Amino acid sequence: MSFFINSSFLTVGAFAKDAHGSQDHPLISRYPDTSIVSYHTSDFEEFMIAKGPITNESFESQGNSALPPVIKYEGKTTSINYKGNNTKISALAVYRNYEKAFAKHNFKTIFKCKNDDECGAWFAKQVYWYGDPKRQGRYRYLDAPNLHGKRQVYYYWSGTAKVQGKNYVVSLLVAQNAAATRPVKIILDVNSPEKLNEDKIGINLDSMKDDIQNTGKVVLDGIFFDFDKASLKPTSNKTLAIIAGYLKKHKSKNFFVVGHTDNKGAITYNRTLSTERARTVVRHLVEKHGIKPSRLQPFGVGPVSPLSSNLHEEGRSKNRRVELVLNK
């Protein structure tokens, strides 16, 4: 039994029991007699892999959002949740086959561990649920919050590879109840780090003036933040300079700077993140461009005012935004 680590070798097609619209990743085939129960892919998204065990100190400092040491990336993502079609398939057999395939094709291991003893307390719950809110809607079959203690066994692997000139970042979680009376659960993430073409969207003074005059607000396209943080990326500077130029030409106008998110994760977390991002924009305009702080009031609303549906990534990407809203 083997796995194919090359798109030209893959011959496995869709399976009758697979989730609608799902498919194996062309880089890595599935373990035999397993089915896809959930599937997600995105042309550009944030993702991460663990590079070490989680510690008690991380819970003390971060609470429910605690994570082990991680490496964060952006790029094309594919995440596939498989389950065994019977209980004869053990977690150990699945994990060893993947591990052998990774080694055979020169994947570089970043971190691997077994159970909370090696991975750290509540590792799976944090990496695949509370510590990464966007995963909560994707892996309901996994039941990540319950993958801990002596009644469960799980294996984690993360690493990188270069195949046909392309870089890949891979993570694997294989889990099963210790008595093996329930089917094995597998999550395979195959991602391709890359830079986003951030010149596709932007604003100019004329469009800002028209939008504010017609609707009382403008979406600040071209503002980008680091993954899961409120820190601005340098590529945002051009847009922020245009915003500052508008504010300097209209000194009598004051604005709310409003942060928005999608609906992935807890609402309190999203509201805090959206508020911090709005504050960052205000701070940049004040400190870098000399705008009076009294003219800008930061405000975060989280996911409560979407522009589009949150049921798919295209809509969620539109909802993650910052707006300039006329105050007086």
Instruction: Answer yes or no: pTM beyond 0.85.
Output: no
Q: How confident is the model at residue 203 (pLDDT cuts 50, 70, 90)?
A: low
pLDDT single digits (tens) 301-324: 999 999 988 887 778 888 899 999
pLDDT single digits (tens) 208-259: 777 888 899 988 888 888 877 899 988 888 889 989 999 998 999 999 999 9
The predicted pLDDT at position 134 comes to 81
258: Cβ contacts below 8 Å, ≥ 6 apart: 217, 274, 278, 299, 300, 301, 322, 323, 324, 325
How many whole angstroms separate alpha carbon 74 and alpha carbon 162?
A: 17
Q: Could you please report the per-residue DSSP string of 113-125?
A: EEHHHHH-TTHHH
How many whole angstroms separate alpha carbon 24 and alpha carbon 18?
A: 10
The predicted pLDDT at position 171 comes to 97
pLDDT single digits (tens) 99-144: 999 999 999 999 999 999 999 999 999 999 988 888 887 777 888 8
How many whole angstroms separate alpha carbon 229 and alpha carbon 72?
A: 11
How many whole angstroms separate alpha carbon 120 and alpha carbon 130?
A: 15
**Which uninterrupted H or E stretch holds 99?**
helix 91-104
The predicted pLDDT at position 304 comes to 94
The predicted pLDDT at position 202 comes to 59
* Residue written as token pair 């509540």: 122
68: Cβ contacts below 8 Å, ≥ 6 apart: 50, 51, 52, 53, 54, 55, 58, 119, 120, 123, 126, 127
Taking residues 180-207, report their average pLDDT.
Answer: 78
In the chain the domains, ranked by start, together with CATH numbers, are 34-193 (3.40.1000), 205-326 (3.30.1330.60)
pLDDT averaged over the chain?
Answer: 87
